[in-house]
Amino acid sequence: MASPEREKELFAVLKQGVIDYDEDAVREAARNAVDEGIDAYTAVFEGLVEGMNEVGRLYEEQEYFVPEILMCADALYAGLEILRPHIAKKDMGLKGTVVMGVVQGDVHDIGKNIVKMMFDVAGFDVHDLGRDVPLEKFVAEQLETDSELVCLSAMMTTTMVGMKDVIARIKEKNPNCKIMIGGAPVSEDLADKWGADGFAKDANNALKEALQMVASLKDMKKS
């Protein structure tokens, strides 16, 4: 069992490895974390995701540009590949089917992939449509899978408006389907305004919110 200091040390290496787009360092730290019995879930969030959040800040300060960011994303994924199989499946008592994707015009899918990982871990049946997804595809997939939930992600103010459209189209066809939206420019206010059933600022809250929605649907079906 690793000491708390060792855990912190490895999380810091994972974080810095993402920032320095050092795939080898990330892989080594991820393997060490697994070998030393460190919780893989915490390593993802306190190491890899923290690193990517810092990369976002560096991009905004114009210290990093697109090529660096892509390399940072590769480093994050290299770590995720090793850690992900070691994240214990959690039985949350409730699960469901979810259609998920990043809306049309938007290729930012790192956040969506982290959210997806959370749903996988909780045992949801996830239909991941990927990124830059045509709006009508969300509607078609929801109808085809009869999913309880649709999760829409957008990272740009220009693309997030597409969510409003998807929400209206899905609600028209299937008013009981729950829709959750997220991504950096999205807010609770927007979710309310556009008729979404939920919003979450990060992957942890996304799962909590989803479980509540599925529970309320099951209650509705019972009564």
Q: Name the residues that contact ligand B12, by CB under 6 A.
A: 49, 52-53, 55-56, 59-60, 66, 69-70, 73, 105-112, 114-115, 151-153, 155-158, 180-185, 200, 202-203, 206
Nearest distance in Å: CB 145, ligand B12: 16
Identify which of residues 36 and 188 has a Cβ nearer to ligand B12 in the complex.
Answer: 188
Identify which of residues 53 and 216 has a Cβ nearer to ligand B12 in the complex.
Answer: 53
Nearest distance in Å: CB 12, ligand B12: 18
Contact 43, 83 (CB under 8 A): yes
| Distant-in-sequence, close-in-space partners of 171: CB < 8 Å, separation ≥ 6 | 177, 179, 195
Q: Report how far residue 15's alpha carbon sits from residue 21's, in angstroms, rounded to the nearest whole number.
A: 10
Q: Residue 89 gets which letter from DSSP?
A: P
Q: What is the DSSP annotation of 39-58?
A: -HHHHIIIIIIHHHHHHHHH
Residue type, position 116, single letter: K
Nearest distance in Å: CB 185, ligand B12: 5
Identify which of residues 184 and 190 has a Cβ nearer to ligand B12 in the complex.
Answer: 184
Contact 11, 46 (CB under 8 A): yes
Identify which of residues 6 and 203 has a Cβ nearer to ligand B12 in the complex.
Answer: 203
Contact 17, 83 (CB under 8 A): no
Nearest distance in Å: CB 64, ligand B12: 7
Identify which of residues 38 and 179 has a Cβ nearer to ligand B12 in the complex.
Answer: 179
Nearest distance in Å: CB 69, ligand B12: 4
The pair phi, psi for residue 180, each rounded to 5°, is: -120, 135
